[in-house]
Chains A and B, each alone.
Chain A
């Protein structure tokens, strides 16, 4: 019996012991996925058992409108038992005439946003949630229109609701409010932080984000087909596009039981690590830029550029490679490009080492990052932070090791872990990962077998299957969950980008800090707002006060008389 199998048995037994008849059924759709169907009244107890007693890490919640299948909604909490390589789905049925479920946030603090999100998108209310404000819908989106319900058309544009206010939190008594955003000054992305300050010291904060809704999940379920979604998934993020398309394809491949050729798995590994190398170089530059050390920005981006050209040669594009498809890849890496890759990597490694040696000895970056934005190990675990921020706080999780995918079962990863939890530790973790990624690409290129890169798919993908897939993005772990459906498209496709849990750690990281440290603290999470806010609502121009009318904006942005 494998560790995973033993863990699955233990999990089922323990949950049954704690909730008794509340556990309706336990199935194992895949070797690494356990699905527990629990009664909705037992969900908090079951989640508490998983998180506290078994040490499971909360990943994400999916709200599914299953009314056309079984007359109700499904709320699926996804947990990961990292050491045991097991995903646990807590699947609760919610009747259509009683749209309430117990909130699990009191026992799993990391579920905060996920629960507010399914309230906003499918309209199932988490009872007992400590902060039940609107999270992802636009401020003028009318109440009672739940965009991810299947009877809501994907292109619905309801009239803006009147008199709706952004759900802002009141500052504590005696504190003043300093607003950062909605266009965040250093990252050039929309995110609004309201900092509650006493003098220069931050005593609390409030976040209002999700200005970047693009309705991606809804499009995937309502408009596109299985093989069209990879190109949409790729556009979830501008930096880690390949990660999202790989993650989506893996989820579908797992659900449908498609075996990907070994060479394709190796090439996916190589491309994923290349994205990590160039993303970490990019981040290092941004971090330098945020603290006003632009030499780092210029030099790391210069070092990064040959990698982008190489990506263009391999895939046909600098970014959004368009290489992934269900069952494998559309392009192979020919031998001459493989040797060129090694040359480019040698140069990148040499130059990165030079930059590393220079900045480690230079006090400038360290003075602005040491002991700044400390994320304690305990907070990192309770908020379920992922990726480099978690590893810099002594939480040794990495999807490449915990849930091996692509060729990571054959190419062993050494993960970088630091204990300090400050921004400097996050810099060090990323620099170490960058060098490790270069080593991984070399190893994967050497071990890459010959053969086809695309499996031929003859049968239709059966409906009603579930697939969970994770990919370790440069920013942390990306999660995609697919429930297959008819019509050649998923019934439900859920995306969670790594910034989603990481941003929730921000309040703990900046409390007690000075305002000047906020940008680099946020920057050190390597946040990506577009990724985080990929979700449901089909957003229209907001109704707040402005100079242009909506019609003006549309006219300006679309051009007069243009075709669709």
Chain B
């Protein structure tokens, strides 16, 4: 019994202090960590693949007029699974290393991206000017939207 207590004491003493100084010192996550989504607006051509695969339904795509496609990210519901990053054919979405996303204002966790598109003469829907069909054949479009708008 006494020996066991001494052993326990030794385990505790040997471990010493293990608490990290965070938040007084920065604590960087490991490489490959999936944090807050970031967008590169110059790369996005509005295919909407990210909206198709998002399990949490964070991304909403709307065509506001014949020239503008609106991508809204209600990312306070984001589960950081990274599917959008995976299917994005242009690598416009990346999951950053940022994890300190707490806020008092929920509207902070909202992003909105307007993509300038060209209107199709036949269907009236919009697309980005260069080779749209080719681009629409790529990864993002394959999964189907699963019955959701």
A-side interface residues toward B, CB under 8 Å?
223-225, 227-229, 231-232, 235, 295, 298-299, 302, 305, 309, 312-313, 316-317, 320, 322, 330-331, 351, 354-355, 357-363, 487-489, 559, 562-564
Give which listed residue, A299, A320, A361, contacts B3 with CB less than 8 A: A361
12 interchain pairs, CB-CB under 8 A: A223-B148, A227-B53, A229-B55, A232-B55, A235-B79, A299-B15, A313-B32, A360-B4, A361-B4, A489-B147, A559-B106, A563-B107
Complex Cα spacing A313 to B83, Å: 18
Give which listed residue, B8, B29, B77, B147, contacts A358 with CB less than 8 A: B8
B1–A361 contact, CB under 8 A?
A: yes
| Neighbouring A residues of B95 by C-beta, 8 Å | 316
Give which listed residue, A295, A298, A317, contacts B80 with CB less than 8 A: A317
With A232-B55, A299-B12 as given contacts, are A362 and B33 in contact (CB-CB < 8 Å)? Answer: no
B-side interface residues toward A, CB under 8 Å?
1, 3-5, 7-8, 11-12, 15, 18, 29-34, 53-56, 74, 77, 79-83, 86, 95, 106-107, 110, 143-144, 146-148
B146–A225 contact, CB under 8 A?
A: yes
Closest chain-B Cβ to A333's Cβ sits at a distance in Å of 11
With A316-B32, A330-B86 as given contacts, are A488 and B8 in contact (CB-CB < 8 Å)? Answer: no
Complex Cα spacing A563 to B111, Å: 12
Q: Considering the complex, give the chain A residue whose CB is closest to the CB of B8.
A: A358
Closest chain-B Cβ to A556's Cβ sits at a distance in Å of 13
Give which listed residue, B5, B15, B53, contacts A228 with CB less than 8 A: B53
B81–A358 contact, CB under 8 A?
A: no
Closest chain-A Cβ to B74's Cβ sits at a distance in Å of 6
| Neighbouring B residues of A351 by C-beta, 8 Å | 11
| Neighbouring B residues of A320 by C-beta, 8 Å | 79
Give which listed residue, A225, A362, A562, contacts B8 with CB less than 8 A: A362
Q: Considering the complex, give the chain B residue whose CB is closest to the CB of A222.
A: B147
| Neighbouring B residues of A232 by C-beta, 8 Å | 55
Complex Cα spacing A224 to B56, Å: 9
Give which listed residue, A225, A302, A309, A357, contacts B7 with CB less than 8 A: A357
B147–A317 contact, CB under 8 A?
A: no
Q: Considering the complex, give the chain B residue whose CB is closest to the CB of A331.
A: B32
Give which listed residue, A298, A312, A361, A559, contacts B33 with CB less than 8 A: A312
> How many interface contacts (CB-CB < 8 Å) are there between A and B?
95
Q: Considering the complex, give the chain A residue whose CB is closest to the CB of B57.
A: A223
Main secondary structure on B side of the interface with A: loop
With A231-B55, A564-B74 as given contacts, are A487 and B146 in contact (CB-CB < 8 Å)? Answer: yes
With A223-B148, A316-B82 as given contacts, are A362 and B5 in contact (CB-CB < 8 Å)? Answer: yes
With A361-B1, A361-B3 as given contacts, are A322 and B12 in contact (CB-CB < 8 Å)? Answer: no
A228–B79 contact, CB under 8 A?
A: no
A317–B53 contact, CB under 8 A?
A: no
A224–B55 contact, CB under 8 A?
A: yes
Q: Considering the complex, give the chain B residue whose CB is closest to the CB of A228.
A: B55
| Neighbouring B residues of A330 by C-beta, 8 Å | 82, 86
Closest chain-A Cβ to B34's Cβ sits at a distance in Å of 4
A354–B146 contact, CB under 8 A?
A: no
Complex Cα spacing A285 to B108, Å: 38
| Neighbouring A residues of B7 by C-beta, 8 Å | 354, 357-358, 361
Complex Cα spacing A489 to B8, Å: 52
| Neighbouring A residues of B3 by C-beta, 8 Å | 361
Given contacts A227-B53, A312-B29, A362-B5, 8 further A-B contacts (CB under 8 A): A295-B12, A302-B15, A305-B18, A312-B30, A322-B79, A359-B4, A488-B144, A489-B147
A224–B146 contact, CB under 8 A?
A: yes
With A224-B146, A357-B7, A487-B146 as given contacts, are A562 and B106 in contact (CB-CB < 8 Å)? Answer: yes
Q: Considering the complex, give the chain B residue whose CB is closest to the CB of A315.
A: B32
Closest chain-A Cβ to B49's Cβ sits at a distance in Å of 13
Closest chain-A Cβ to B18's Cβ sits at a distance in Å of 5
| Neighbouring B residues of A564 by C-beta, 8 Å | 74, 77
Complex Cα spacing A235 to B18, Å: 29
| Neighbouring A residues of B56 by C-beta, 8 Å | 231
Complex Cα spacing A298 to B13, Å: 12
Complex Cα spacing A331 to B32, Å: 10
A295–B8 contact, CB under 8 A?
A: yes
Complex Cα spacing A231 to B86, Å: 14
Complex Cα spacing A312 to B28, Å: 12
For the complex of A and B, 4 pairs with smallest distance between CB atoms: A225-B146, A361-B4, A362-B4, A228-B55
Q: Considering the complex, give the chain A residue whose CB is closest to the CB of B30.
A: A313
Q: Considering the complex, give the chain A residue whose CB is closest to the CB of B6.
A: A358
Complex Cα spacing A487 to B107, Å: 33
Complex Cα spacing A305 to B18, Å: 10
Q: Considering the complex, give the chain B residue whose CB is closest to the CB of A305.
A: B18
Give which listed residue, B18, B34, B110, B143, contacts A563 with CB less than 8 A: B110
Complex Cα spacing A360 to B7, Å: 11
Q: Considering the complex, give the chain A residue whose CB is closest to the CB of B107.
A: A563
Q: Considering the complex, give the chain A residue whose CB is closest to the CB of B33.
A: A316
